[in-house]
Amino acid sequence: MKSFHFRLQTKLNLCKSQEQMAKEKLAVCVNELEKLKKEQAKILDRINALENTIRVFNQEHMLTQEVIMNKEYLPVLREKHQTLEDKIQKAALLVEEARRDLLEKKKASNMFEKLRDKKWREYSEAVKLEEQKKTDEVAMISYFRNKVN
């Protein structure tokens, strides 16, 4: 009997490589999102620290050059925070799109894998039946030989 050959193996390999590329794209998108979130957290910490510094100096009724600079720097940090928030939303959309793409690729490759497994089971059954036929023939021949002798 001829060896097992899945005629859609090339398509399965292509689907597997596309799935791997989708996984890598998702990983890149998730890393970018995490990087932006860390940067946003740093800016929020900086904003909170500046506000606390300003609050302390206001309670002491001291208006120093540092307080004035901090008050002028706060809007810049808040604007940067807002732009980062927008970037985070866009990155989150990219992550979601990459996840959907990965799911589609996984479905396609799983479908081809199931087809290959089904064809393999059919092939295995056919091989078993062929072996059984040969075994039966050998058994019958030896039975008739023993009967004749």
Mean pLDDT for the stretch of residues 19-44: 96
C-beta separation of 12 from 6 below 8 A: yes
Confidence (pLDDT) at 130: 93
61/50: higher pLDDT: 50
Residue 59: is its pLDDT beyond 80? no
Q: Whole-prediction pTM value? A: 0.75
Q: What number is the average pLDDT over the span 137-147? A: 90
Give residue-wise pLDDT tens across range 75-113: 999 999 999 999 999 999 999 999 999 999 999 999 999
pLDDT confidence band for 120 (50 / 70 / 90):
very high
